[in-house]
């Protein structure tokens, strides 16, 4: 039995390379070869890149496949509270997060083989996931790209059964490039000759790059908004493609963007697993999919600090496109159920705060800036100043809890809708404080 806990291994893995991110495949290839290439022994892989919507699209695919009786491994990042969230191992009746014992055994095995060689944290932990997936039987692996695509650690997979690209927008410019076209080129790097591509509805400039790269590889691409589409009609979700029409319930995950993510998931599974995908499995997946901190209604401990009767929501959106999508979802909610909107947000210093806050102009009646836990946060007074520059009444607080106490101590003529957003790190901290840990 291993003698150390997973946190000890994770701390050591973080010290193996001087940089957190160093886009290259050489270190991965070295370690995978030393392990006998577990990445070549995986169940069929669906590889998913994109700026926003990757995790939600994977959540829909997992729920639909599991509803059809399939065994599914998933690999996603980052985690919100515990590392174990990144690796879900297939099990009858639905996959389970990797156990501490299984994780530590894999950590010990991989650390021994790596023998202290330089490798980034994401690289060595991705190797751990591949090692676990190769050792446990499953029907599918749903594999999320960490950053970009072309040089991402996960792109050592040579023959996935599908390459999926969710909406591409501006993010991680310091690594992927300073234009939408450059970023789309990096995402399209997961496309493989002989593997069908499913491209979500996205900005035309990004789509053009993805289609160009698909053409260079002779890849057949299904395009959202053209080859398949989905929309809300009379409280239902309608999915259409050339040969399919489905009248479905609205997804459990709220917002128009989740209808589009669900459409990408359905189009992908109809392409690669048509024998499994019937209306019953698709419906069950739409109604059971879970993806924490994506426009999630909180009902735990934090609600006791907020004004009585207030709605409390959490969203991990941390870039301009994520903020735009959240603002659209809130606008739609406001039309159905008007309430004063209070925005609580914290951002990392490296993010463009003005881009993240701008979609909420005219929507948020009040803004409270808070710090993001850990290093690299933007000071709340600086974030509040950005909000004031955009015309929002703004203040700052020491924490989300302090913000909620401040709001809870006031008298409200109409109970507010409070939304916490701006950072996945902040979202993880909020879930922990609320007692709403991912399962």
Q: Peptide bond preceding 239: is omega within 30 degrees of 0, i.e. cis?
A: no
pLDDT at 177: 66
- Architecture in CATH of 296-434: Alpha-Beta Complex (3.90)
Q: What is the mean pLDDT of residues 292-299?
A: 93
Q: What is the mean pLDDT of residues 1-13?
A: 81
Cβ count near 396 (within 10 Å): 20
* β-strand pairing of 221-223 with 197-199: parallel
pLDDT at 136: 97
Model-level pTM? 0.93
Residue pLDDT, tens place only, 25-34: 899 999 999 9
pLDDT at 174: 64
pLDDT, averaged across the chain? 94
Residues 6+ away with beta carbon under 8 Å from 267 = 198, 222, 224, 227, 228, 241
pLDDT at 175: 62
Instruction: Assign 2 a pLDDT band (cuts: 50, 70, 90).
Output: very low
Residue carrying the six token digits 């507010």? 416
Residue pLDDT, tens place only, 143-160: 999 988 999 999 999 999
Q: In the chain, where are the structural domains located?
A: 6-288, 296-434
Instruction: Assign 254 a pLDDT band (cuts: 50, 70, 90).
Output: confident
Instruction: Assign 172 a pLDDT band (cuts: 50, 70, 90).
Output: low
The total number of residues shown for the chain amounts to 439
Whether residue 179 is predicted with pLDDT greater than 70 in this model: the reply is: yes
User: Quick one: which of 74, 93, 92, 94 has its CA closest to 84?
Assistant: 74
Do the two domains 6-288 and 296-434 of this chain adopt the same fold?
no
CATH of domain 6-288: 3.40.1190.10
Whether residue 107 is predicted with pLDDT greater than 70 in this model: the reply is: yes
3-state helix, strand, coil in the chain (%, to 5): 40, 15, 40
Whether residue 1 is predicted with pLDDT greater than 50 in this model: the reply is: no
Strand order in the sheet with 197-199: 96-97, 87-89, 72-75, 140-144, 45-49, 162-165, 197-199, 221-223
Q: Which two tokens stand for residue 323?
A: 């903020």
pLDDT at 321: 86
pLDDT at 130: 98
Residue pLDDT, tens place only, 67-76: 999 999 999 9
Q: Mapping DSSP to helix (H, G, I), strand (E, B) and coil, where does residue 123 land?
A: helix
> Could you give the CA distance from residue 311 to residue 297 in angstroms, rounded to a whole number?
8
Residue pLDDT, tens place only, 48-95: 999 989 999 999 999 999 999 999 999 999 999 999 999 999 999 999
Burial of 102 (0-12, 13-18, 19+ CB in 10 A): middle
Residue pLDDT, tens place only, 187-224: 999 999 999 999 999 999 999 999 999 999 999 999 99
């Amino acid at each position: 039995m291993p003698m150390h806990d997973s946190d000890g291994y994770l701390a050591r893995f973080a010290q193996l390379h001087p940089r957190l991110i160093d886009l290259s495949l050489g270190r991965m290839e070295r370690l995978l070869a030393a392990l006998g290439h577990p990445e070549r022994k995986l169940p069929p892989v669906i590889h998913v890149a994109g700026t926003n919507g990757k995790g939600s699209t994977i959540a829909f695919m997992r729920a639909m496949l599991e509803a059809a009786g399939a065994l599914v491994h998933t690999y996603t990042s980052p985690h919100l509270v515990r590392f174990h969230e990144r690796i879900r191992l297939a099990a009858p009746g639905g996959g389970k997060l990797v156990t501490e014992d299984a994780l530590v055994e894999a950590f010990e095995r991989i650390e021994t083989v790596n023998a202290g060689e330089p490798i980034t944290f994401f690289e060595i932990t991705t190797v751990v996931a591949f090692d676990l997936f190769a050792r446990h039987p499953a029907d599918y692996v749903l594999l999320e790209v960490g950053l970009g695509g072309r040089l991402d650690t996960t792109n050592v997979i040579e023959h996935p059964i599908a390459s999926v690209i969710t909406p591409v927008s501006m993010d991680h410019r310091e690594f992927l490039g300073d234009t939408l076209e450059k970023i789309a080129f990096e995402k399209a790097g997961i496309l493989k000759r002989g593997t069908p591509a499913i491209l979500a509805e996205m900005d035309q400039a990004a789509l053009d790059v993805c289609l160009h790269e698909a053409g260079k590889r002779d890849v057949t691409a299904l395009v959202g908004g053209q080859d398949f589409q989905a929309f809300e009609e009379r409280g239902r979700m309608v999915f259409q493609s050339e040969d399919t029409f489905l009248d479905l319930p609205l997804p459990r995950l709220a917002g128009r963007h989740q209808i589009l993510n669900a459409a990408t998931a359905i189009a992908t599974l109809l392409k690669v697993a048509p024998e499994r995908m019937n209306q019953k499995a698709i419906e069950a997946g739409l109604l059971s999919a879970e993806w924490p901190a994506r426009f999630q209604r909180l009902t735990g401990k934090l609600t006791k600090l907020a004004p009585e009767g207030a709605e409390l929501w959490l969203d991990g959106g941390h870039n301009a496109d994520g903020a735009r999508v959240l603002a659209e979802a809130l606008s739609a909610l406001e039309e159905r159920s008007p309430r004063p909107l209070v925005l609580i947000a914290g951002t990392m210093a490296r993010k463009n705060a003005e881009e993240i806050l701008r979609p909420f102009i005219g929507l948020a009646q009040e803004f409270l800036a808070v710090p993001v836990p850990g290093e690299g946060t933007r000071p709340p007074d600086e974030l509040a100043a950005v909000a004031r520059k955009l015309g929002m009444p703004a203040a700052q607080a020491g924490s989300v809890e302090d913000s909620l106490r401040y709001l809870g101590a006031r008298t409200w003529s109409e109970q507010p809708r409070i939304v916490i957003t701006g950072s996945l790190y902040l979202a993880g901290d909020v879930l922990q404080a609320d007692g709403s840990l991912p399962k």
